[in-house]
């Protein structure tokens, strides 16, 4: 099976994330970045599939120089090769343009060896839109089975279990297909020492927009179909009253709720 | 006046509250035209009319409902082409956002997700979003094509505005490609009788401090008519389903009142609830980070505090 996993290098969610005042884009320079946590589950699932049978996992990312770190982590986990799409003109791209670049990268990989499965996380941890996987499937003309908490590949069929609010569903598609996975699907492995050493020798190609046949005018800030007009930090919350339970904590809680008209 | 397409969120004709919110927002931007897919229109019509749907575009085929989202996306794209609406509004549910994502690509239109407010602005649409785990508020707009906006629950107070809800069956056939993903089994979950987590006005969540026993959390929630949520630790331990998880990798909620019980308040969890209007916490550890966010906090054992609070609330309610 030839699997492509699309991953993203994102600002650390534990750090103070912010915007660039110059162009209202996410500040990716002044905050440490890492492989998006939700993408680790995607890499792990792809590895499990090829380990159960045979095949190869290629990890693809779009991002500036530092994004190479996301690929490195995936290679250390066990992915076979990486593709880093790195082009300054991509800065400020919206989800639509991101999906365009990813689609062309997957198509280019597919031209070398046909891609059976594209795997992604359910959403990035910075934009948290959760729409790029579906947009990517739309552009590639693939069925998309998303929010998988369990996944099985049998022959040319992929089946997932999705835990919805109202029901638990089994959803099936014929390969080639795109799957997005939740953080319930597996436990991502920590890279072993062997994996870390092996990663150093694995091939990583760097592609520009020209390598993908994409005109710079189709991507980037000016081409975006949406625009951030302004941003403002939310004022920090001021801490209210804290009481220690001395046999009356519950009563005091009820009194507070009553005073605030929740009762 | 331009139409505004509103995708109706319903189960066999029972229309969810989010739809009445979307219709209310749609009235700010143009004339609401609901888009109703599936069975049960007769049950839904009254609600759609009550909240302002002038028209309802209807499709009833099984093909559309058993094949996930692509047929609905194709339908909406067809309607965008035929009606040139001022905007398309969908609920910011996982299904709504997937449909919106495909419609955006099909119609080459900008997509804004998880809007918490939508207003008319000039001849366009202005949206507000809460980003970076609620630490920033953003004003954004669509700059190309038809604004497609996925709106979070509780973003508008539904306003009654009786209208005709004149229905029109749409001549629509999904493409063969649209049938690529199929739902082969669907097991309904047992209804808890509690409100849905992202729509509820009050959410009470339990975490590691419950030790797996959510009974006190549930009783307290029920005394308030609240939804029950869970921290990631509780879900990972198998104590509560993933669909109840509040946090960065679960659901983000912004209710009027959020009560965190036995939850330390790590960033993972805060990302899911820190824009709630009023925040309360009960935790044994007086240094738990959750207390930095609260409007009221009790340092104590939830197994003592919650039952006492539950009794007091029940008494007050009589």
Q: Which residue of B has its CA nearest to A19?
A: B136
Mutation pick from B18, B70, B104 vs chain A, by most beta carbons of A within 10 Å, is B104
Q: What is the pLDDT of residues B161-175, one digit of tens each?
A: 999 999 999 999 999
Q: Same domain, yes or no, for B158 and B261?
A: no
Q: Where are any strands of DSSP class E within A36-175? A: 56-62, 81-85, 117-121, 144-148, 150-154, 157-163, 167-174
Please enumerate in sequence order all residues whose Cβ is within 8 A of that of A229, keeping only pairs 6 or more positions apart, or say none: A24, B126, B139, B140, B141
Q: Same domain, yes or no, for B119 and B243?
A: no
Q: Do B180 and A169 touch (CB under 8 A)?
A: no
Instruction: Check which CATH number belongs to the domain holding B89 and give it.
Output: 3.40.50.620
Q: Same domain, yes or no, for B138 and B243?
A: no
Q: What is the pLDDT of residues B193-218, one digit of tens each?
A: 999 999 899 999 999 999 999 999 99
Q: Same domain, yes or no, for B27 and B121?
A: yes
Instruction: Check which CATH number belongs to the domain holding B223 and give it.
Output: 3.40.50.1220
pLDDT band at B65 (very low <50, low <70, confident <90, very high): low
Q: What is the pLDDT of residue B105?
A: 98
Q: Is residue B184 part of a domain?
A: no
Q: Same domain, yes or no, for B161 and B219?
A: no
Q: Do A249 and B139 touch (CB under 8 A)?
A: no
Q: What is the pLDDT of residue B85?
A: 98
Q: Is residue B192 part of a domain?
A: no
Q: Do A234 and B97 touch (CB under 8 A)?
A: no
Q: Which chain B residues are within 8 Å of A225, Cβ to Cβ?
A: 104, 108-111, 142-145
Question: Could you report the predicted ipTM of this complex, rounded to two decimals?
Answer: 0.94
What number of residues does chain A have?
263
Sheet order of strands, A226-233 included: A226-233, B136-142, B124-131, B111-121, B148-151, B87-91, B3-7, B31-37, B55-59, B166-169
Helix/strand/coil for B251: strand
Cα→Cα distances A166→A191, B56, B85, B196, B317, Å: 37, 25, 31, 9, 30
Nearest to B194 by CA among B153, B220, B216, B227: B227
Q: What is the pLDDT of residues B172-192, one digit of tens each?
A: 999 988 888 999 999 988 888
Superfamily of domain A2-218: HUPs (3.40.50.620)
Q: What is the pLDDT of residue B1?
A: 86
Among candidate residues B179, B214, B242, the one where a domain is terminated: B179
What number of residues does chain B have?
318
What domain range includes position B210? 202-317
Q: Which chain B residues are within 8 Å of A147, Cβ to Cβ?
A: 94
Residue B306 at interface with chain A, using a CB cutoff of 8 Å: yes
Q: What is the pLDDT of residue B148?
A: 98
User: β-strand B202-206 against B227-230: which pairing, if any?
Assistant: parallel
Per the CB < 8 A criterion, the answer to whether A255 and B175 are in contact is no
Q: What is the pLDDT of residues B94-132, one digit of tens each?
A: 899 999 999 999 999 999 999 999 999 988 999 999 998
Q: Same domain, yes or no, for B99 and B137?
A: yes
Q: Is residue B24 part of a domain?
A: yes
Q: What percent of chain B has pLDDT over 70?
A: 98
Q: Same domain, yes or no, for B134 and B245?
A: no
Average pLDDT of chain A is 95
Q: Is residue B193 part of a domain?
A: no
Q: Which chain B residues are within 8 Å of A169, Cβ to Cβ?
A: 183, 185-187
Q: Is residue B37 part of a domain?
A: yes
Of B144, B275, B296, the CB nearest to A225: B144
Q: Same domain, yes or no, for B26 and B175?
A: yes
Q: Is the pLDDT of residue B66 over 80?
A: no
Q: What is the pLDDT of residue B267?
A: 87
Going from N- to C-terminal start, the domains of chain A cover 2-218
Nearest to B227 by CA among B244, B252, B251, B214: B244
Q: What is the pLDDT of residues A199-246, one digit of tens each?
A: 999 999 999 999 999 999 999 999 999 999 999 998 888 899 999 999
Q: Which chain B residues are within 8 Å of A234, Cβ to Cβ?
A: 130, 134-137, 275
Angstrom distance (rounded) from CA B116 to CA A151: 33
Of B177, B305, B317, the CB nearest to A141: B177
Query: Low-confidence residues of chain A, pLDDT below 70?
Result: none
Q: What is the pLDDT of residue B64?
A: 65
Q: Is residue B148 part of a domain?
A: yes
Q: Same domain, yes or no, for B147 and B26?
A: yes
Q: Is residue B56 part of a domain?
A: yes
| DSSP, res A92 | T
Q: Same domain, yes or no, for B20 and B81?
A: yes
Buried b (16+ CB within 10 A) or exposed e, B22-38: bbbbbbebbbbbbbbbb
pLDDT band at B318 (very low <50, low <70, confident <90, very high): confident
Average pLDDT of chain B is 94
Q: Do A131 and B97 touch (CB under 8 A)?
A: yes
Q: Is residue B221 part of a domain?
A: yes
Q: Same domain, yes or no, for B91 and B167?
A: yes
Q: Which chain A residues are within 8 Å of B294, Cβ to Cβ?
A: 239-240, 242
Q: Same domain, yes or no, for B83 and B223?
A: no
Domain count, chain B: 2
Q: Which chain B residues are within 8 Å of A124, Cβ to Cβ?
A: none
């Amino acid at each position: 099976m030839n699997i492509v996993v699309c991953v993203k290098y994102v600002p650390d969610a534990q750090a103070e994330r912010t915007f660039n005042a110059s162009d209202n884009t996410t500040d990716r320079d002044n905050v440490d970045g890492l492989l998006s946590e939700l993408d680790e589950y995607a890499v792990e699932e792809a590895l499990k599939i090829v380990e159960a049978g045979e095949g190869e996992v290629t990890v693809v990312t779009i991002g500036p120089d530092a994004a190479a770190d996301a690929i490195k982590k995936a290679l250390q986990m066990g992915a076979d090769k990486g593709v880093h799409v790195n082009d300054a003109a991509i800065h400020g791209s919206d989800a639509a343009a991101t999906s365009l670049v990813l689609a062309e990268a997957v198509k280019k990989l597919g031209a070398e060896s046909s891609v059976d499965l594209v795997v992604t996380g359910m959403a990035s941890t910075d934009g948290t839109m959760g729409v790029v996987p579906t947009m990517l499937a739309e552009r590639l003309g693939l069925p998309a089975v998303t929010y998988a908490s369990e996944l099985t590949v049998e022959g040319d069929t992929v089946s997932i279990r999705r835990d919805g609010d109202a029901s638990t569903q089994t959803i099936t598609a014929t390969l080639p297909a795109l799957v997005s996975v939740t953080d319930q699907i597996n436990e991502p492995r920590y890279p072993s020492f062997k994996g870390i050493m092996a990663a150093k020798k694995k091939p990583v190609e760097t592609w520009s927009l020209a390598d993908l046949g994409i005109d710079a005018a189709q991507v980037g800030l000016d081409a975006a179909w949406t625009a951030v007009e302004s941003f403002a930090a939310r004022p920090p919350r001021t801490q209210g009253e804290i009481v220690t339970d001395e046999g009356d904590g519950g009563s005091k809680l009820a009194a507070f709720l009553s005073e605030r008209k929740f009762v | 006046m331009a139409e505004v397409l509103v995708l109706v969120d319903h189960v066999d004709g029972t229309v969810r509250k989010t739809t009445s919110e979307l219709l209310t927002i749609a009235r700010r931007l143009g004339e609401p035209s609901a888009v109703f897919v599936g069975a049960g229109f007769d049950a839904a019509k009254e609600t759609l009319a009550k909240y302002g749907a002038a028209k309802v575009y209807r499709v009833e085929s099984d093909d559309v409902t058993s094949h996930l989202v692509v047929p609905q996306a194709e339908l909406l794209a067809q309607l965008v082409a035929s009606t040139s609406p001022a905007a398309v509004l969908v609920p910011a549910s996982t299904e709504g956002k997937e449909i919106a994502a495909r419609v955006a690509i099909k119609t080459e239109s900008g997509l804004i997700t998880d809007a918490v407010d939508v207003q008319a602005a000039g001849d366009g649409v202005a949206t507000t979003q809460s980003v970076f785990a609620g630490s920033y508020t953003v004003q954004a707009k669509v700059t190309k094509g038809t604004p497609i906006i996925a709106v979070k629950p509780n973003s508008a107070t539904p306003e009654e505005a009786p209208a005709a809800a004149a229905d029109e069956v749409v001549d629509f056939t999904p493409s063969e490609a649209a049938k690529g993903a199929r739902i082969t089994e669907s097991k309904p979950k047992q209804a808890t009788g509690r409100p849905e987590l992202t729509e509820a006005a009050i959410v009470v969540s339990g975490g590691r401090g419950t030790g797996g026993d959510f009974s006190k959390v549930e009783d307290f929630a029920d005394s308030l008519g609240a939804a029950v949520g869970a921290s990631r630790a509780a879900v990972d331990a198998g104590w509560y389903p993933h669909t109840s998880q509040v946090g960065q990798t679960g659901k983000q909620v912004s209710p009027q009142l959020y009560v965190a019980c036995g939850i330390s308040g790590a960033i993972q969890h805060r990302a899911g609830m820190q824009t709630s209007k009023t925040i309360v916490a009960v935790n044994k550890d007086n240094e738990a980070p959750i207390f930095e966010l609260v409007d009221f906090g009790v340092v104590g054992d939830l197994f003592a505090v919650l039952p006492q609070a539950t009794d007091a609330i029940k008494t007050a309610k009589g």
